Structure 1
């Protein structure tokens, strides 16, 4: 299996991997990451990937650049405000069946394969899209520290196992996140969303834009690859 190929991973290291095409935006993202509390004995890598051909290709390149066991893949326009993020992730990853942690997602993917169309969504992200507009996207909260979901949004994805990003299928910037969630579950690992009832962990600052036309093409690719594995709620 993919995760068995790299046995020299450093269990005391976490890497923050980001595809970068705007240096000013990334510099602010990095400022927040460098302000996080680093638990005793842990070290941190910051891995910007520039000129990536796609999100999957960029993330695979980032994997090759670090030997950290724990990897956080985040968009360049995400600000991590939970100072204890690393400790919180390690606490959840103490359960070795958990492969991936996201901030917001759905309990069960609908037939469309689009997580936000799901009937039960969990998680929380603060969205800051316009100068005077801040929206607290607060869905349901887990009863405990975290809850199993089928898919999460790609703004923030933390992993403790290396499974190859499907750059053979997703050659652009869409559905790479939901694909990785499905790949994790193919390897019998859980995808989870943490409890953020007391406070949100991330601020997402995307530029508002319509859904890209190529999204539909990658949606068809996703459903062709994973459609038979979906169990939508009705």
Structure 2
């Protein structure tokens, strides 16, 4: 696989990127981000994209605005609680073949292309869907520091290379994350989920709702683009 870093990037900078349509949630998200421990000599920046046509388009816009080597794409309702998160991902990214890190995902995508339908799912997230209902979604834990997976959930994806998000295909808010994992794989990079035995890395606070009607359309688009690259477990 040919590997190419698009731009020269600042190895001493990390950028946290979020598409924003709810200022109250984003303020809460930022509060947690700004309380993370930033290693000496490193700089953190925060980019909130408003009015994005799609998640992929918003992320591409932010990616082009920052020269940070490390970029963290996270939902506005994701609260990052691992204080040493930056040191943690830098340790994992010492392996130059690792392109992206997520907190929850699946070893092999199923024929549906939907990661949570996979036979072996890994990771951990604290879900707070309602004020008095908190669920510790703990799947399999990697035996070591991390485990390679085929796809991770878009609630948080950290990267050390700039790979364009496929806004040409994913023009809405679904499957952009699984697509990005496949784009990293196409370039020879691995996607991993870290071990969180010592504690979950983030709290996700989504509203419970059924899958949007347009989800099936993006699922078909995903399978049209990547279907022949899937190797489902049986």
The answer to whether the superposition gives a TM-score over 0.5 is: yes
Label 1:168 to 1:182 Cα distance change in 2 as closer, same or farther (>3 A): same
TM-score relative to the length of structure 2? 0.98
Contact 1:2 1:164 in 2 (8 A): no
Measured after TM superposition, the shift of residue 223 of structure 1 is: 0.1
Partner of 2:31: 31
1:100 equivalent in alignment to 2:100: yes
Partner of 1:158: 158
Contact 1:13 1:68 in 2 (8 A): yes
- Correspondence list, 1:80-119, <5 A: 80-119=80-119
Partner of 1:48: 48
Residue deviations 1:2-23 (CA, integer Å, cap 9, x gap)? 943312x100000000000000
Residue deviations 1:65-98 (CA, integer Å, cap 9, x gap)? 1110100000000000000000000000000000
Partner of 2:214: 214
Residue deviations 1:153-207 (CA, integer Å, cap 9, x gap)? 0000000001100000000000000000000000000000000011000000011
Find the residue that maps to 1:227 and give its secondary structure: helix
Unaligned residue ranges in structure 2 (runs of 5+): none
Partner of 1:172: 172
Find the residue that maps to 1:4 and give its secondary structure: coil
Count of aligned pairs = 233
Partner of 1:6: 7
Contact 1:15 1:68 in 2 (8 A): yes
Structure 2: distance between partners of 1:224 and 1:102: 24
Structure 1: distance between partners of 2:208 and 2:140: 24
Unaligned residue ranges in structure 1 (runs of 5+): none
Poorly superposed stretches of 4+, deviation over 6 Å: none
Contact 2:3 2:187 in 1 (8 A): no
Partner of 2:134: 134
Q: CA RMSD in A?
A: 0.9
Structure 2: distance between partners of 1:3 and 1:59: 19
Partner of 1:233: 233
Residue deviations 1:89-126 (CA, integer Å, cap 9, x gap)? 00000000000000000000000000000000000000
Structure 1: distance between partners of 2:72 and 2:178: 16
Contact 2:19 2:55 in 1 (8 A): yes
Partner of 2:18: 18
Structure 2: distance between partners of 1:43 and 1:106: 32
Contact 1:126 1:134 in 2 (8 A): yes
Find the residue that maps to 2:147 and give its secondary structure: strand
TM-score relative to the length of structure 1? 0.98
